Amino acid sequence: MWRILTLVKDRVVLRIVKRVALAHFTLNLAAHRAWRRLRGERPFRLAGDCGRCGACCEVPSIRASRLAWYFPTARALFLAWQRRVNGFELVSVDRRTRVFTFRCTHYDPATRSCDSYDSRPGMCRDYPRLQVWSAAPAFLPGCGYRAVAGNADALIRELAVRKLDPEREAQLRRDLHLD
């Protein structure tokens, strides 16, 4: 997620708590992705750039773990953490996908900036990278990033050999994330 200025509205204690949570998040994520690589999974390549639209700060969303979803106490703790530590106020819940959507109290829609950029949570730092680990990467509307297949060049050459009609080729390039 992007910034305009380096801002540090969070107070010292909160910043320390968030720093510890960030270390935990980062280690977990690194271990999880290393495990996926060991299993032979390869992420897409991240291409493009941040257009500073602020969309990723407008509706931060988190998919709840099974623990937080099925156990009321765990869910209450999870939501309290989001509210008290990350400044995320719950807006809606998607029961089908277990996704909680929030409003971030650190986000200023007028300036499209974060008032606590230095202490933003790990998930804010990881967007849009998490999408390249998805089987079907989907970026927010207007996001300047895109996912490109690791073997895009070889596939583009392969398509060229087959001399498909231009519409079909363009569709395949989109579907296979070649551009």
How many Cα atoms sit within 13 Å of 41 on the Cβ side?
Answer: 13
Written as six digits, the tokens of 113 are 């900036």
Residues 122-141 touching ligand SF4, rule: CB under 6 A, are 124, 128, 140
CB of 54 or CB of 137, closer to ligand SF4: 54
Supply the DSSP symbol for 80. Answer: H
CB 146 within 8 A of CB 139: yes
Report, in Å, the least distance between residue 105 CB and ligand SF4.
8
Question: Rounded to whole angstroms, how far apart are CA atoms 5 and 111?
Answer: 10
Q: Which x/- pattern, by CB under 6 A, does the window 66-105 give for ligand SF4?
A: --------------------------------------x-
CB of 9 or CB of 169, closer to ligand SF4: 9
Q: Which of 10, 120, 147, 148 touches ligand SF4 by CB under 6 A?
A: 120
- What phi, psi does 146 have (nearest 5°)? -150, 160
Q: Which of 19, 32, 42, 52 touches ligand SF4 by CB under 6 A?
A: 52
Residue 109 touches ligand SF4, criterion: CB under 6 A = no
Written as six digits, the tokens of 59 are 């509706």
CB of 143 or CB of 147, closer to ligand SF4: 143
Q: What is the DSSP string of 32-77?
A: HHHHHHHTT--PPEEEE------HHHHS-EEEPPHHHHH-HHHHHH
Q: Residues in the site for ligand SF4, rule: CB under 6 A? A: 1-2, 50-57, 60, 104, 106-107, 114, 116, 120, 124, 128, 140, 143-145
